C-alpha cells in the first residue's frame, strides 16, 4: 500500500453509495488526459452535480457509470478554454456492440489537479473500457462507491501516471466483488 492509501472496506460505507440524480453533460477540459497522460477523463459539467457530490473532499474515488448519447444533436465544433477546437459528437459514435453503453467501472478524480495548478475544480471520470471514438457532449450518470486517496502533487508526470495506474487496479479489484458490483443496479434505466 502507498502511504496515503486507506484500506478499501468490503462494501460501500456511509456516505456511499452516492448517485447523480440525472445524466450530466460531458464537457471538454484542456485535453491533457489523453495527450500527456494517455489516460483520458470525461469531464463532467460541475453545475449538473448535486451538492452531495460537490461537497466531497478533493481526491480519487471509484464507482460505475452509464453513458447516454443525445441522439437529436449533430456534430458541432466547440472552442476549448485555450482557443483550440474540439468536435462534440454528443456520443452518437458510441457503439452498443462494443459494450460502450453498458454500465462500466470507473475511477474519478475530483479537485484542482495540483500537478497542473488548475484554477478551478474539475470532476473527471476515467472509464475502465476501450472506446473507439471520443464522446464529447454525451451525458453520463454515475455513482461513487468509495474513496481511494487524497489528491496529490507530483515531481514528474511519470509519478502521476504510476499512481493513477495503481488507482485503476484498486478500483477494478473492488468493483469486481459482489458487494460492490450490485450497485450497478442503481444506474439501470
Ligand atoms: P479533456 O481535457 O477535454 O477532458 P481528455 O484528454 O481528458 O480531454 O479526454 C477526454 C475525452 O476522451 C472524453 O470526454 C471522452 O470523449 C474521451 N474518452 C475516450 N476514452 C475514454 C475513457 N476510457 N474514459 C473517459 N473518457 C474517454
Ligand atoms: N492530478 C493531480 O494533480 N493529482 C492527483 O493526485 C491526480 N490523481 C488522479 C487520479 C485519477 C484516477 C485520475 C483519472 C486523474 C488524476 N489526476 C490527478 C488528474 C489529472 O491531472 C487530470 O486527469 C489531467 O490533468 C487531465 O485533465
Ligand atoms: Mg478530461
C-alpha triplet 110, 115, 119: angle, nearest 5°: 65
Task: Round to whole Å and give the CA distance between 24 and 48.
Answer: 6
Task: Round to whole Å and give the CA distance between 38 and 30.
Answer: 14
- Give 99's pLDDT tier (boundaries 50, 70, 90): very high
Other CB atoms within 10 Å distance of the CB of residue 51: 7
**Torsion on CA atoms 6, 185, 100, 67, rounded to nearest 10:** -90
In this prediction the pTM is 0.98
Atom from ligand 1 closest to the CA of residue 86: 3
Is the CB of 107 inside a 6 Å radius of any atom of ligand 1?
Answer: no
- Per-residue confidence (pLDDT) for residue 189, from 0 to 100: 82
Atom from ligand 2 closest to the CA of residue 122: 27
Q: Is 119 a catalytic residue?
A: no
Backbone torsions φ then ψ of 126, nearest 5 degrees: -95, 120
Is the CB of 29 inside a 6 Å radius of any atom of ligand 2?
Answer: yes
Express each pLDDT in 109-151 by its tens digit: 999 999 999 999 999 999 999 999 999 999 999 999 999 999 9
Mean of the per-residue pLDDT values for the chain? 96
Residue 91 has pLDDT above 80, yes or no: yes
- Choice among 76, 124, 151, 169 that is catalytic: 124
Report how far ligand 1's centroid is from the alpha carbon of 55 (Å): 24
Express each pLDDT in 18-61 by its tens digit: 999 999 999 999 999 999 999 999 999 999 999 999 999 999 99
More confident residue, 189 or 174: 174
- Kindly state the percentage of the chain with pLDDT values over 70: 100
Judge residue 21's burial from the number of C-beta atoms within 10 Å of its C-beta, 0-12 exposed, 13-18 middle, 19 or more buried: exposed
Amino acid at each position: 500500500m502507498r502511504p496515503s492509501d486507506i484500506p478499501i472496506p468490503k462494501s460501500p460505507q456511509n456516505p456511499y453509495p452516492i448517485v447523480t440524480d440525472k445524466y450530466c453533460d460531458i464537457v471538454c477540459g484542456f485535453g491533457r488526459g489523453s495527450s500527456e497522460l494517455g489516460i483520458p477523463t470525461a469531464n463532467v459539467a460541475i453545475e449538473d452535480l448535486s451538492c452531495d457530490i460537490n461537497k466531497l473532499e478533493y481526491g480519487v474515488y471509484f464507482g460505475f457509470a452509464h453513458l447516454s448519447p443525445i441522439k437529436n444533436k449533430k456534430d458541432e465544433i466547440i472552442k476549448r478554454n485555450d482557443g483550440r477546437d474540439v468536435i462534440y459528437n454528443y456520443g452518437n459514435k458510441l457503439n452498443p456492440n462494443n459494450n460502450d453503453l453498458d454500465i462500466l467501472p470507473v475511477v474519478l478524480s475530483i479537485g484542482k489537479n495540483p500537478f497542473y495548478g488548475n484554477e478551478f475544480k474539475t470532476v473527471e471520470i476515467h472509464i475502465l473500457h476501450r472506446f473507439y471514438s471520443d464522446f464529447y457532449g454525451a451525458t453520463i450518470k454515475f455513482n461513487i462507491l468509495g474513496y481511494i486517496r487524497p489528491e496529490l502533487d507530483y515531481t514528474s508526470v511519470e509519478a502521476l501516471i504510476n499512481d493513477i495506474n495503481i488507482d485503476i487496479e484498486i478500483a477494478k479489484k473492488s468493483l469486481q466483488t459482489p458487494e460492490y458490483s450490485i450497485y450497478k443496479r442503481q444506474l439501470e434505466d
